[in-house]
Amino acid sequence: MRSWHLSWKHLWAEDSLAAFRDRIAQHLCVFSAVLLLPFTINHLLMGRHMLGTIILLAQGVLFVNGYSLRHGRATPVPMWIMVLAFCSAVVASVLGQGLDTVVWAFPALFIGYFLLPRRQAQLVSLLLVVAVPVAVFSVAGTASAVRALAALVLTLAMINVVLSVIGELQVALVQQAITDPLTGAWNRRHFDELLVQMQAPPVPGTNGASRPPNVLLALDIDHFKAVNDRHGHAVGDAVLKALVQLVNQRKREGDQLFRTGGEEFVLLLPRIRLDDARRVAEELRQLVENTELAPGLRVTVSIGLSPQVPGQVASPWLAAADGALYEAKRSGRNRVVMAPVAA
C-alpha cells in the first residue's frame, strides 16, 4: 500500500483546490459581501463614516467579482489584491482596535488558500504570520505576540497538511480511474481520452522535413482463450501481468502501454522513425516468444503497426493499427504487420 508521505516540496507545490477555485471564489465573494453588511451599517450609524464607506466599497467589489465569476468572466479586481487588502485590514485592525481583532487573522489564512493558487497563498500567509504577531507585540507585548504566532503557525501547518492529503487522494482517485487494476497498464478509458487530444498537425522540421510520426503498436496474445481454458484464469492473469512487465522493460521512457481489451494492448510510441518502430515491434515479438510468461508456459503475440499521418484524427489511425493486427492474425500469427502508409 502506498504510504502517505508529505514532504515540504508537496506542501509548497500541490494545489488540490485548483479545479474548484472559481466556484469557491464565487460563493465566497457573495457570502462575504452579505456578511459585511451589518458591519457597514454599524459603522455608519456610529458616525464612523470613512470606515463604513470603505467596507461598503469592499462589498461592492466582492459582489462584482462574484457576479463576474458566475458568468465565466475575469474578475475586475484580481483576487490577490482582494486577499492582500483583507490581510492588511486585519493588521490595521489589530493596531487600531486592539487584541480582540486578532481572530480575523485565522479566516484570512483560509481565504487565501481558497482564492489564490497555492504558491501565492503560501507567500501571503507567511506575510500574515509575520505581520500579525508584530502588530500584537506593539499593542499587547511579547507574551501575546508569541501566543498569536504559535496559533497562526499551527493553523497554517494544518491547512497545508489537509490540502496535501486531499491532493494525494485526488492523485489516487485519478490513478484508479485510468489504470487497469490487473496489469497496471493504462486502461481503455485513458487511451480514448488521450487519442482525442492527439490529432497530428503537419509540423515542418529542419529543411522542410516532417518530424517523426507517432506510431501505434496494437498487440494481441495469440490463442489466449486456449491458455485460459487449459491452464485456468489465474494463469491467464499471470500471463497478462508478465507481458506488461516485459513490454515495460523494453519500451522507451516516453512510450505508453494501454490494455484495451482482455488480451489486447496498444503501445503508443511518440515521435519515432518507422524503421525504429518496426525494430521495437519485432524485438517485442521475439522477446515474448522466447520468454516464459508463466512457469513452463510461453505464448506469442501478433502486432499491427500504424504511423499517424500528419493531420490524421484518432479513429482512422487506430483502425489502421487494428487492421494491421488482424492481417497479422490471418497470415499465421506471431508476426508484425505494418499498415499501408498513405501518400
Active site residue ranges: 263
Residues in the chain: 343
C-alpha to C-alpha distance for 122 and 13, rounded to whole angstroms = 10
What H or E segment, with its residue span, contains residue 142?
helix 142-178
- Contacts for 108 with CB less than 8 Å, ≥ 6 apart: 83, 86, 87, 90, 128
Unique residue bearing C-alpha cell 490540502: 163
Q: Which residues does residue 220 pair with via DSSP β-bridges, in sequence order?
A: 264, 302
Q: Are 182 and 237 in contact (CB under 8 A)?
A: yes
CA-nearest of 76, 81, 80 to 65 is 76
Q: Are 257 and 267 in contact (CB under 8 A)?
A: yes
What sign for the dihedral angle of Cα 4, 5, 10, 12? positive
C-alpha to C-alpha distance for 331 and 303, rounded to whole angstroms = 12
φ/ψ (deg, to 5) at 221 = -75, 130
Q: Are 124 and 83 in contact (CB under 8 A)?
A: yes
3-state secondary structure 288-315: HHCCCCECCECCCEEEEEEECCCCCCHH
Q: Are 272 and 254 in contact (CB under 8 A)?
A: no
E-state strands within 47-166: none
Q: Are 251 and 257 in contact (CB under 8 A)?
A: yes
Q: Which three cell numbers stand for residue 261?
A: 481489451
